Amino acid sequence: MKIAFFDCFSGISGDMCLGALVDAGVPLDELEKELRKLPVGGFYVKAKKVRRCGISATKVDVMLEADSRHGSKKARRWDDIRDIIRKSSLSSGTKEKTERIFGTLFRAEAKVHGEPLKKVHLHELAAVDCLADVCGTVAGLELLGIEKVYASPVNLGSGSVRTEHGILPVPAPATAEILRNIPVYSSGEPFELATPTGAAILKSLSCGFGEMPLMVADRIGTGAGGRETKDRPNVLRVLTGKMHKTPGGKMVTVIETNIDDMNPQVYENLIGRLFEEGALDVFMTQVIMKKMRPGVKVTVLCERVKRDALMTLMLRETTSIGVRWCEASRMTMEREMRKVRTEYGEVRVKVSGLEGAYMKVMPEYEDCRKLAKKNGVPLLDVIEEAKRVAGGTIKK
């Protein structure tokens, strides 16, 4: 799987995203070709090499043509932006992601200003700039063949920022709303580092926030922000590459907590929520705790980027006041689902293989259970029949 990791150590904005992707190898002419698919004219993109605290980076700007700069000042509302996206000739995937990002942005603006979604607007020039940033970022990721996006915690900056609504604190209210439930921090720079557009891009595209996942990077792009800072390069770094498997397996995070004072009925809800939030596996072990109290050890396996979210969930959904975690190697077989037709009906089977030399077949329990009830036969008979038809456990 090809992934991209957004390293937001100096925040994120729309133009920084574009700059990082162009720097990572997205051809500018290909990017412009995608942007021309929007039914909006009067702009073009321009890229140049700059230095930020001695670091070379690419700065991409959306340039407005002279006629557009002095043209219509009509506000662009959510319905207008959505119509532009849907009427474009962009790919269906780019349309869906672009609309999702703008939906995140407009809903946040509506909430912080206390207005109905339909009344929130971007003025004409800002709307064009934002469309180019968002659509260009989504198209750029598609051009690089990125399947999943991950991100670091977001550096917000501090101080205040001047907006059309006046001087507002950093993070701007819309940025703070968008990044709710996402790990953020401030390194103390006295200005805005994360913009609402950049925040909306991350919130809508990233499938995990935290440390960099185990990956083999093949490209590194550095996108410059507009401000030159003294102590920290004002850049966004994007690393692209493939998820890495360690020899003999891959790394997973193991999270554990011991509980001896919770209603057992709560565990069912906990396990369901953990799987919903991305746990790879969840299991419980009976243990004897201090003062010989019987207890339960809850163990969760997950990808590293899901660690913080799952630990927080465990603390919120149980009586535990602390959890522990460690990294572990895991070896797994490649697996896929197939269907076989038995005398009792169709059954899904999980086929697992090891280096093309060994294969295991395991019928899905729920399928077998339903067929056993429907046909009035023992469950074991259905399971054995499914194994027989599928070939059972065989050597290739």
DSSP string of 248-272, one letter each residue: TSEEEEEEEEEESSS-TTHHHHHHH
pLDDT score at 70: 44
Q: For residue 3, give both structure tokens.
A: 């992934």
CB 200 within 8 A of CB 220: no
Question: Which one has a higher pLDDT value, 334 or 89?
Answer: 89
Give the model's pLDDT for residue 356: 56
Contacts 24+ apart (CB under 8 A), 176-183: 177/108, 177/111, 177/112, 178/104, 178/105, 178/108, 178/203, 179/154, 179/203, 182/153, 182/154, 182/209, 183/153, 183/154, 183/209, 183/210, 183/308
**pLDDT, tens only, 330-385:** 887 777 888 899 999 999 998 887 665 567 889 999 999 999 999 999 999 999 99
Q: Above 90 in pLDDT, residue 266?
A: yes
pLDDT at 392: 56
In the prediction, which pLDDT does 247 show?
Answer: 53
Note the pLDDT of residue 168.
86
Judged against a pLDDT cut of 50, whether residue 305 lies above it is answered with yes
Separation of alpha carbons 52 and 170, rounded Å: 22
Determine the 3-state secondary structure of 62 from DSSP.
strand
pLDDT (mean) for 132-147 = 96
| pLDDT band, very low/low/confident/very high, at 123 (cuts 50, 70, 90) | low
Look up the CATH superfamily of 250-330. Answer: Transcriptional regulatory protein pf0864 domain like (3.30.70.1380)
**pLDDT of 72 strictly over 50:** no
Nearest alpha carbon to residue 319 among 295, 287, 303, 283: 295
Q: Provide the whole-model pTM.
A: 0.69
Please give the average per-residue pLDDT across 15-43, as a whole number.
94
Q: Tokens 């046909």 belong to which residue?
A: 375
Confirm if 250 and 18 have CB atoms less than 8 A apart.
no
pLDDT average, residue stretch 269-292: 95
Q: What is the mean pLDDT of the chain?
A: 89
Q: Which two tokens stand for residue 48?
A: 């140049």
**What's the token pair of residue 216?**
């083999």
Bridge partner residues of 43 (DSSP): 64
Q: What does the pLDDT average to over 296-309? A: 92
User: Does the pLDDT of residue 28 top 70, yes or no?
Assistant: yes
How confident is the model at residue 126, as a pLDDT?
67
- pLDDT at position 245: 63
The residue extents of the domains of the chain are 2-243, 250-330, 334-395
pLDDT for 396: 43
Under 8 Å between Cβ of 55 and 222: yes
Return the half-sphere exposure (C-beta side, CA atoms, 13 A cut-off) of residue 258: 8
As a CATH number, domain 334-395 is 3.10.20
